Amino acid sequence: MTHELPGRVVVLAGGLSHERDVSLRSGRRVAEALRGVGVETEERDVDADLVPALLKDRPDCVFPLLHGETGEDGALREVLRLLDIPYVGSGPTASRVAFDKPVAKAVAHRAGLLTPPSVTLPHATFREIGAAVMMDALLARLGVPLVVKPTRGGSALGCSVVRRPDDLPGAMVGCFSYGPVALVEQFVTGTEVAVPVVDTGSGPRALPPVEIRPDGGVYDYAARYTAGSTEFVVPAKLDDEVAAACARAAVTAHEALGLRDISRSDLIVDEDGQVWFLEVNVAPGMTETSLVPLSVQAAGLDLGELCAELLAVAKT
């Protein structure tokens, strides 16, 4: 380990989002890893008692592991900044930008990354203009297959792959049940790859890419968090040149979005070896089936030591 161990650390997990259970599992995993390298670690949920507790017994640092809106939209990080408590991860503004998938796609595209053609539709617009007319226009513009997902959220909740026009209405309903705005984008066929990026003080670097092979063909919530339902290949079976392009894309997204400490970019490598940027996560999962710990292990790193190094360079 290249940095001194941090003092007392609070790992924040839970919250009230749809991804509460995943967050709690991530929190337990990181807390155990930190304790394994000698870091005094307390796990806390996010509730009305949180701020008084942090002010009464100020930790040296906080490791936020809340997933979904409450943990990734920048609000919690704004609170920690107000309290002047260092924390791991991106700042409030960068988190807000990255959490909004269409905005993050636009930033990544301006930075030179390929992004699938897409349309963003609020539920109110979809309803007022006429659902049938809008779906016909979407199909005429983007064709099939399509991916429909909420613009804000994670863990693939509310996300559907539409392979036939008749499946689009159900996909839109499912999406709007998790958020008021839908992102409808062309489905890029290829190899799904996730690339974590970490920065422990020497600049952002990509960790080994993780290739995702879900049994059902779609990396949905069940495929992500049910042990054995998805095969992960680490490092991904990619040509060296393509693997390097994936690493560059992840670092480019991290830097273009102004992220810090840790992120994970989700990419697709098409049959021509082109790398497509899908989205980025500023609070990636750390559960037993999550991608970052798999990549950390493949890099020959210890998860506890890496988390401790991230804590050592944390800022407000």
pLDDT digits (tens, 9 = 90+) for 59-74: 999 999 998 777 788 9
Position 221 confidence tier, pLDDT thresholds 50, 70, 90: very low
- Checking if the pLDDT of 158 tops 90, the result is no
Domain of residue 302, residue span: 96-113+189-312
Taking CA atoms, 144 is separated from 39, 135, 147, in Å, by: 50, 12, 9
Position 241 confidence tier, pLDDT thresholds 50, 70, 90: very high
Position 262 confidence tier, pLDDT thresholds 50, 70, 90: very high
CATH number at residue 144: 3.30.1490.20
For residue 28, count other CB atoms closer than 10 A to its CB: 17
On whether both 177 and 204 belong to a single domain, the answer is no
What does the pLDDT read at residue 4? 75
Q: What does the mean pLDDT of the chain come to?
A: 92
Give catalytic residue positions: 19, 155, 225, 264, 266, 279, 281, 285
40 domain residue, yes or no: yes
CATH number at residue 37: 3.40.50.20
On whether both 106 and 211 belong to a single domain, the answer is yes
What does the pLDDT read at residue 298? 97
- Checking if the pLDDT of 3 tops 90, the result is no
The amino acid present at 89, given as its one-letter code, is G
Q: In whole angstroms, what is the distance from residue 18 CA to residue 188 CA?
A: 27
3 domain residue, yes or no: no
Position 17 confidence tier, pLDDT thresholds 50, 70, 90: confident
How much is the average pLDDT of 84-89? Answer: 97
Domain count, the chain: 3
How much is the average pLDDT of 42-46? Answer: 95
How much is the average pLDDT of 243-248? Answer: 98
Taking CA atoms, 127 is separated from 97, 138, 289, in Å, by: 26, 14, 38
